[in-house]
Amino acid sequence: MLKSKIKMLQLAVTLLACAFLFVPIVLSVMAGLTVNYFQGISSGLTLKWVFQVWDLYAGSIFLSMWLAVACLFCTLIIGLPAAYGLARHPGWMSRLLEEFISLPLAIPGLALALALLQLYGSMKGFRASWTFILVGHVLYTLPFMVRSILAVLASMDLKTLEEGAASLGASPWQRFRDIVVPNAMPGILAGALTVVTLSIGEFNLTWMLHTPYLKTLPVGLADSYASMRLEIASAYTLVFFILIVPLLMAMQWASARAQRITQ
Partner 1 sequence: MTLRLTHTAKTYPDGTEALLPTDLSVGKGEIVSLLGPSGCGKTTLLRIIAGLETPDAGSDIWFDDDNVTALPVERRQVGMVFQSYALFPNMSVRANIGYGLKMQRLPKSEIDARVTEVLEMCQLQPFAARAITALSGGQRQRVALARAIAPRPRLLLLDEPLSALDASLREILRDELAVLLREFDITAIFVTHDQDEAMAIADRVAVMSHGRIVQSGTPEDLYRNPTSSFVAGFVGNAMPLRGKADGTKLHLNGGTLTLPMDGVGQTVFVRAEDVQIIKNGPLRGKVETVTFLGTHYRIGISGIASDTIASIHSGQVAPKVGDTINVSIKPETLMLLPDEADVA
- Give the whole-angstrom CA distance, residue 18 versus residue 63: 33
Q: How far, rounded to the nearest angstrom, does the alpha carbon of residue 252 sit from its chain's CA centroid?
A: 12
78 vs 170, beta carbon nearer partner 1: 170
- Give the whole-angstrom CA distance, residue 204 versus residue 218: 9
| Cα end-to-end distance, the chain, whole Å | 42
Q: Least distance from C-beta 263 to partner 1, angstroms?
A: 14
Q: Which residues of 220-248 are buried (b: 16+ CB within 10 A; e: fewer)?
A: bbebbeeebebbbbbbbbbbbeebbeebb
**Site for partner 1 contains 167 (CB under 8 A):** yes
Query: In this chain, which of 135, 176, 178, 248 binds partner 1, going by CB under 8 A?
Result: 178
The amino acid at 75: T
CB 209 within 8 A of CB 113: yes
Stretch near partner 1 under the rule CB under 8 A, chosen from 68-76, 85-93, 140-148, 152-160:
152-160
Binding pattern to partner 1, positions 180-199, x when CB under 8 A?
--xx-x--------------
Query: In this chain, which of 47, 168, 249, 256 binds partner 1, going by CB under 8 A?
Result: 168
The footprint of partner 1 on this chain (CB under 8 A) covers a number of residues equal to 19
CB 97 within 8 A of CB 109: no
CB 193 within 8 A of CB 17: no
Stretch near partner 1 under the rule CB under 8 A, chosen from 60-68, 139-147, 168-176, 226-234:
168-176
Three-state SS for 123? coil
Q: Least distance from C-beta 96 to partner 1, angstroms?
A: 20
**Site for partner 1 contains 169 (CB under 8 A):** yes
**Site for partner 1 contains 164 (CB under 8 A):** yes
Task: List Cα–Cα distances, 102 to 105, 106, 110, in angstroms.
Answer: 6, 7, 16
78 vs 161, beta carbon nearer partner 1: 161
Q: Beta partners for 34?
A: 45
Stretch near partner 1 under the rule CB under 8 A, chosen from 39-47, 50-58, 172-180, 239-247:
172-180
144 φ/ψ angles, rounded to the nearest 5 degrees: -65, -40
**Site for partner 1 contains 156 (CB under 8 A):** yes
Task: List Cα–Cα distances, 95 to 37, 83, 139, 140, 144, in angstroms.
Answer: 54, 11, 18, 19, 15
Query: In this chain, which of 14, 39, 171, 262 binds partner 1, going by CB under 8 A?
Result: 171
Query: In this chain, which of 39, 43, 174, 252 binds partner 1, going by CB under 8 A?
Result: 174
Query: In this chain, which of 118, 125, 157, 212 binds partner 1, going by CB under 8 A?
Result: 157
**Site for partner 1 contains 93 (CB under 8 A):** no
> Which residues would be at the binding site for partner 1 (CB under 8 A)?
156-157, 160-161, 163-171, 174, 178-179, 182-183, 185
